[in-house]
Amino acid sequence: MVSADLISLAAQSCENAHYGNSSGCSFPAPSLWTFIFKPWAHVGMDLNKPMLLSVICMVLIVVFFWGAFAKPKVRKPGKLQLIGEMGLDFVRRGVARDMIGKEGDRYVPYLVSLFFFVWLMNLMAIIPFAQFPVTSVIAFPAGLALTVWVTYMVLTFKRNGFVGGIKNLCVPPDVPLPIYFILTPVEFISNIFFRPFTLAVRLFGNMFAGHLMIVMFSAASWYLLSPSIGALYSGASFVMTIVLTAFELAIQALQAYIFVMLTASYIGQALSEEH
């Protein structure tokens, strides 16, 4: 609630920041405030824009896949079904089969959901009116990483038993004995704490930084716009905004792909017998 008041205070003090106008406002550089939204409503909890966007993402995915797969046809599939099949095939072949193997087919639904949910939340960064990557709020990638971590742990202990599971997590094979004294604690910490943490933070950081850049250049192109030499800077900033938007489009897909790729690799490792 405090942050909301601050936002409104900051917004009031410099309503229309612009280079050379009389209110004397400096450049409204994007900051952490850019990622904190004033709650719209309070229904048991604060509801804000990222939450709404995540719900919209969920609805869009469900609607798309419902349209594609609810009444599938064996012969002459519709366009939507073909696109859905391509997406499914991409995750099945490119991720599940590659990283896990034949057994990976069981985890395709999980990986498909993860990939499209993450991708769509990333994509919100460049969709007009949304214009905010949901995954640049740590709670969303953290929640997904949590599900990955739980899956990883459950599969590890289910497949290998308790001792085997600990061994799977801490003792990599084919290493000379003395090295284990160093490697075992490193592996333990890495697998149990760092992996889920980095999984979430990698996605968050990429989206956070990308959004920051786009906001900065778009703010600058407005702030610098004036009937003077400054218009050149404004134009350059605008071009940068466009370029970064295109760049982000690639990064969004790539980060979603990396997210599921790593998830699949963790699952594959949990399922491997000898490890």
Site string for other proteins, 165-204 (x = CB under 8 A): ------------------------------------x--x
Among 16, 24, 41, 73, binds other proteins (CB under 8 A): 73
CA-to-CA separations, 13 to 9, 23, 51, in angstroms, rounded: 6, 9, 27
Among 11, 29, 55, 242, binds other proteins (CB under 8 A): 55
Q: Which stretch binds other proteins (CB under 8 A): 52-60, 179-187, 226-234, 253-261?
A: 52-60
Strands, E, within 16-58: which ranges?
A: 41-42, 46-47
Q: Which residue has the tokens 């949990």?
A: 270
Q: From CA 265, how far away is CA 94, in angstroms rounded?
A: 12
Q: Is 78 in the site for other proteins (CB under 8 A)?
A: no
Q: How far is the CB of 80 from other proteins (least distance, A)?
A: 11
Q: Which stretch binds other proteins (CB under 8 A): 93-101, 130-138, 179-187, 255-263?
A: 130-138
Closest to other proteins by CB, 50 or 165: 50
Distance of CA 235 to the CA centre of its chain: 30
Q: Is 13 in the site for other proteins (CB under 8 A)?
A: yes
SS3 127: coil
Closest to other proteins by CB, 47 or 258: 47
The neighbouring-strand residues paired with 135 are none
Q: From CA 64, how far away is CA 58, in angstroms rounded?
A: 10
Answer whether 226's CB lies under 8 Å from 22's CB: no
Answer whether 136's CB lies under 8 Å from 208's CB: yes
Q: From CA 145, how far away is CA 197, in angstroms rounded?
A: 7
Closest to other proteins by CB, 5 or 235: 5
* Residues at the site binding other proteins, with contacts judged by CB under 8 A: 2-3, 6, 9-10, 13, 31-33, 35-36, 45-48, 50-51, 54-55, 57-58, 61-62, 65-66, 68-70, 72-75, 77, 81, 84-85, 88, 108-110, 112-114, 116-117, 134, 137-140, 142-144, 146-147, 201, 204, 208
